[in-house]
Copies of this chain bind each other. A is one copy, B any other.
Amino acid sequence: MASTIKTASTRRLGAPDSRTRGLLLDAAEQLMLEEGYAAVSSRRVASRAGLKPQLVHYYFRTMDDLFLAVYRRSAEHNLERYAAALASARSLQELWKLVIDPGGTAFVMEFVALANHRKAIRTEIARHAERFRQMQLDAVARVLHGCGSPANSCPPVVAVLLMTGLSQVLVLEKALGITSGHDETLAFVERCLRDLNPSGA
């Protein structure tokens, strides 16, 4: 079908919509979640996908290209999923539920660690994060507007960062087995949100 692409360097490169390419991305994503980015090698990815290692290099010139493709596919998917959920949220409580959902957080953390030392991935993450932040901001502003945000409350963008930080700590520490103060904090947040937005119970 879709023919191969000739790149500047004489190497051949597989079509982006190939089924095999998708299998490789699936395998890489799983490996990354289960054993960390260091476990994502061409041999192991291929073996998990039931394919030959060389195919990885046929579809992705370098391993970094593979990482980038995995990230892009997943981020795009999450963005769509999240946008739908945000759009239907009618209270801060519902937004908070979305924020503290641990699904995807482990994945993001893995990429953040990887990104710390790879420029290409770092900029890609930054791009998506800004879009994400903007989406959350719109949702919070919309909800706060609906219930007439009080003057003593914080600006929407601060609320977003507060929720993000809190959920990040809670999810991360839970994964590490640290839990002291978590219950109290969750209860406190619920209380704050209820005070701020009584209609959302």
Contact = CB atoms under 8 A, between A and B. Distances in A.
A165 interface: yes
A154 interface: yes
Chain A residues touching B, majority SS = helix
Interface of A: 34-39, 106, 109-110, 112-117, 122-123, 125-126, 129-130, 133-134, 137, 154-155, 157-158, 160-162, 164-170, 172-173, 175-178, 180-182, 184-185, 188
Contacts of A125: 176
A53 B129 CA distance: 40
Contacts of A114: 36, 113
B113 A188 contact: no
Contact of A106 (B110, B116, B170): B116
